[in-house]
Structure formats: C-alpha cells, structure tokens
C-alpha cells in the first residue's frame, strides 16, 4: 500500500466532484510528489465503481481502493447484507476468500468474530485498513491461503465459514464448482469436519441440479437476483445431512426483499391450470426462473400457465404482489398471421419456448427496437406459436 494516498490532501483530491476521467488522469502529471498519476487514476476508477455497488465504501472518508478486478469480484452491499443475515448471531466465522472484504464486513455485523483470509497480501492489507476506517473491530486478518489456514485449525475453531471460489482460472472464466479455485467439491468433507456450516458463493450460471449432485449435505440453495438479474447462488452445507434441500428464490428489487421458498418435491407435485392469454401477462423474476419453480408460480399466485414449457402466466384479474414483471395484454395473434403483416413494428422482444431468438425475430420481421410495446413470441396451450402484444402495467 502506498500510504501517501491516505494523506488528507490526496483524499480531498480524490473526492472532488467527479469530473476527472481516470483514463485522462493516467496521462497527466500527478499533482502529488509521492503519488503517481497511475495510482490516482486507479483510485478514481475503483471509487467510481463503488458508487452504486458499495455506497458505504464510496461515501466513507479514508477508504483505500484495490485494482478493479477486486471490486468487480466483490459482492454488492445488498447481496452481502442478505447473506450476513443468514448466520446465527454471535457466530465465530471465517471468510476463506476475503478479497476486498465486503462479505466479511457484513458478516461481522452479526458474528462475534470474523477471520478474513486473503492470499494476496496487498489485498489483505487494504481490507484490514478499510475495516478499521469502518469501525469493524471484531475482524481479524490472515494474509495466506484460506483453505490451507482452515485445514490447519482445530475442529470447530469456527462455527461457520464462507468461501467464494475464484471463477477466473489461468485467464479463463469458469463456473463449474470443480473448475474453480479452491475446489470445494474436492474439500467438502474436510470443510464439514472443521466447521458445522459452510456457505459457498457460486456463479449464477451454475446449474442447480449439477451443484446438488456434486455436493453432499446441502441444506439450502439461495438464488439471489437484483432488479431482475440473477447475481449469485449461495449453497449452504450442514454437517447434519438434510434429506431434501430447500430452495429459496431471493429477489432484491428497488430496496425491497421478496423470497419464494420451496422444495423440489413441491414443484414436481404442483398441478397448475393452463390456458390461453387473457387480460394480463406475468413474467417471473430471474431468480424464480433460475430456481425452476415453474409450476409452483402458477399455483401460488393462482395464474394460468400458457404452456408446459412456456414460463409465462396469465389471468383475467390483476394479481398484485407478483414477483416479476406484469403486462397488460393488448392483443394476441397467431404467428402465422403475424408473418403476413407487412406493417412497420416497433417494440421490445422476448422469446419463450420459441424456435427463433429475439435477435433473429427482429431481423426477420424488421422490428425496430424500443418503444412502449412488448412483444412476447411463445407457444400456447395448443402448441400453436403466438405473438402477444402487451404494455407494462
């Protein structure tokens, strides 16, 4: 760490109204003797990346920022707060892949103590400094490989542990648990020998069924979305075996939190009603779709499903509180009739259980992008391809 970056005049410079472009700053002469223009540019860029994702860090005075990859890989404040609320108050916790320290900081709000492990020494120093700035005095820091550190501790030194395996290995992106570093599939039994509960953060692209086959003793799977974008999977392992893991869709939208918990057996047993498009159309949140709660959504909200494999729903009456987007159906036409129409169309395209992708449909039918009309291309109950013209409620 270049401690000169923390000097008051440098900090005031970095917190000026954001009119300085980091890229252009890197090409200028630094106004400070002991801080280079490249260091200033890096601090400016990293701070800007925290503005929406990590407002606590962005607004605090005296924060030292790491290189951008550490910011990109860090959890957002909203997802970190959600995860922290899942641990038992007063727990002794270890974060084996501490990074910038966002998850560890929020875990420390609930835990008696949190040990932050980070094998990159500079990043460990940065996280320790920032924890001090943010008054997290129940955090300890270990600048070494977290997995090796945990395995070297006596059993039950910690009540629970958190690990976010790196999904960038040898300059390539991976998402299978076995391909990440460290390999939690390989070490799962040893982890549960050392601590009673293990929290594993995984890529949103990871297939839930593959994770369930790869890991034993899964207690819960949390699928977390923010503003209808799936952000991460949280796999919770417990030393005591669980016959049927619970799946929870977690939707963080506009500062509100909604959850949809269920067991796979409930989804299999659900018997939704099917029907043609009526007055309203419902598109589930990304977390619900990722969870695979396709039939339960219809049953829970008392909606009709358009088709077994078309994960869109309809109703005659407006159903408030639905976790997802709701549209008013303006008209529904057969795709065969739609193809005959030569009029210019402008709209936002979605394809569900349809042979063509949105970009292919846009090109084939010369549909202009944007506007207030939403076009859903899908299969209906009778297998006929449909086009649903709708507008947002």
Nearest to 296 by CA among 265, 326, 266, 258: 266
Task: Give residue for tokens 């207690």.
Answer: 219
Q: How far is CA 275 from the centre of its chain?
A: 33
What is the chain's pLDDT, residue by residue, as a tens digit (393 residues)?
999 999 999 998 888 766 678 888 888 888 899 999 999 999 999 999 999 999 999 999 999 999 999 999 999 999 999 999 999 999 999 999 999 999 999 999 999 999 999 999 999 999 999 999 999 999 999 999 999 999 999 999 999 999 999 887 776 777 788 888 999 999 999 999 999 999 999 999 999 999 999 999 999 999 999 999 999 999 999 999 888 899 999 999 877 899 999 999 999 999 999 999 999 999 999 999 999 999 999 999 999 999 999 999 999 999 999 999 999 999 999 999 999 887 889 999 999 999 999 999 999 999 999 999 999 999 999 999 999 999 999
pTM given for the model: 0.92
| Per-residue confidence (pLDDT) for residue 19, from 0 to 100 | 66
- From residue 285, alpha-carbon distances to 2, 247, 305 in Å are 44, 15, 15
What CATH number was assigned to the domain covering residues 72-264?
3.40.50.150
| Per-residue confidence (pLDDT) for residue 25, from 0 to 100 | 81
DSSP string, 28-61: SPPSSSSS-HHHHHHHHHHHHHHHHH-HHHHHST
**C-alpha torsion angle, residues 89, 95, 101, 107 (rounded to 10):** -10
219 backbone dihedrals φ, ψ, rounded to 5°: -90, -45
| Contact (CB, 8 A) for 215 and 178 | no
Sign of torsion over alpha carbons 295, 297, 300, 303: negative
| Per-residue confidence (pLDDT) for residue 243, from 0 to 100 | 84
């Amino acid at each position: 760490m270049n401690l000169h970056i923390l000097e008051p005049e440098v900090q005031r410079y970095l917190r000026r109204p954001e009119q300085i472009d980091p890229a252009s700053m890197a090409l200028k002469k630094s106004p400070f003797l002991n801080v280079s223009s490249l260091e200033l540019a890096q601090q400016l860029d990293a701070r800007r990346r925290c503005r929406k994702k990590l407002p606590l860090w962005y607004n605090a005075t005296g924060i030292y920022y790491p290189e951008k990859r550490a910011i990109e890989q860090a959890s957002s404040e909203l997802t970190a707060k959600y995860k922290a609320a899942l641990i038992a108050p007063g727990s002794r916790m270890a974060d084996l892949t501490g990074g910038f320290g966002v998850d560890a900081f929020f875990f420390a709000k609930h835990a008696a103590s949190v040990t932050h492990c980070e094998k990159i020494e500079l990043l460990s120093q940065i996280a320790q400094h920032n924890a001090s700035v943010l008054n997290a005095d129940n955090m300890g820091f270990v600048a070494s490989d977290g997995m090796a550190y945990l395995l070297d501790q006596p059993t039950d030194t910690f009540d629970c542990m958190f690990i976010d395996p790196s999904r960038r290995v040898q300059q390539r992106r991976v998402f299978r648990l076995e391909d990440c570093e460290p390999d939690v599939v390989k070490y799962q039994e040893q982890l549960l020998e050392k601590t009673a509960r293990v929290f594993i953060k995984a890529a949103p692209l990871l297939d839930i069924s593959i994770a369930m086959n790869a890991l034993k003793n899964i207690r819960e799977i949390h699928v977390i979305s923010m503003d209808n974008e799936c952000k991460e999977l949280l796999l919770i392992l417990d030393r005591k075996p669980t016959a049927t893991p619970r799946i929870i869709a977690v939707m963080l939208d506009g500062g509100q939190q909604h959850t949809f918990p269920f067991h796979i057996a409930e989804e299999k047993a659900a018997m939704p009603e099917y029907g043609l498009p009526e007055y309203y159309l419902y598109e589930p949140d990304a977390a619900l779709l990722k969870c695979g709660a396709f039939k339960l959504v219809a049953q829970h909200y008392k909606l009709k499903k358009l088709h077994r494999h078309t994960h869109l729903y309809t109703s005659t009456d407006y159903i408030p509180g639905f976790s997802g987007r709701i549209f008013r159906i303006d008209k529904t036409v057969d795709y065969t009739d739609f193809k005959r129409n030569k009029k210019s169309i402008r709209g936002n395209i979605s394809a569900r259980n349809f042979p063509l992708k949105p970009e292919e449909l846009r090109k084939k039918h010369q549909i202009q992008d944007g506007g207030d009309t939403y076009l859903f291309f899908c299969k209906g109950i009778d297998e006929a391809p449909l086009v649903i013209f709708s507008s947002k409620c």
